[in-house]
Amino acid sequence: MSWDIDVSEKLYQRLANEIFFRILHGKYRTGDKMPSYTELAKEAGSSPETVRKAFRELQHYGVIEKMRRGYFVTADEAVVMAYRQQYLTTIALLGSYMICREDQDDTAKSLHLIPVSKAKLTAAKMIVTFVFSILIYLLLFITTFSAEAVLHFFACRIADLH
């Protein structure tokens, strides 16, 4: 059975993300030897070269390490959690971008919606972005228990609203 991978991103990056999720969910534990390129390629329905590029991507961030006998998940859980934090932050930024992109006028016309003033649209964007950011940081809080980071974020966001 092939993995369900979205092709809007480079395939090796999506594959690296899928492998990383498997590390986070315990399929590959810290210190474990990773399957070979060909094993993962067969499982994912991709080429060994794509798996090699995905491994290099994860190796670049220190999530996996190359040893004589192949690739291994790093034994340093702090590295895995730091990469996880970076990944979630990237998702938050991309989500904010998608919310704020400039094609609302075309969408409003195609849905036969009443035009909204630029000021109201800007205010709505700020609110949606704020709520989206809160949700992402709540997710980070729930999973990393970093109360100081969440409190700092909320303090900054509330200050931005005033």
pLDDT digits (tens, 9 = 90+) for 14-41: 898 888 888 888 888 889 999 999 999 9
What pLDDT is stored for residue 11 in this prediction? 86
- Tens-place pLDDT, residues 69-126: 899 998 888 888 887 777 777 766 666 555 555 555 565 566 555 555 666 667 777 7
32/55 same-domain check: yes
Residue 18 belongs to domain with CATH number: 1.10.10.10
What pLDDT is stored for residue 35 in this prediction? 93
Provide the residue range defining the domain that includes 149: 77-161
Contacts of 35 (CB under 8 A, 6+ apart): 43
30 located within any domain: yes
27/99 same-domain check: no
User: Considering all CA atoms of the chain, what is the largest pairwise distance in Å, rounded to the nearest integer?
Assistant: 64
What pLDDT is stored for residue 7 in this prediction? 45
> Which H or E run includes 73?
strand 70-73
pTM: predicted TM-score of the whole model, two decimal places: 0.53
What pLDDT is stored for residue 77 in this prediction? 83
Q: With 0-12 CB in 10 A as exposed, 13-18 as middle and 19+ as buried, what is 59?
A: middle
What pLDDT is stored for residue 43 in this prediction? 92
Please count the structural domains in the chain: 2
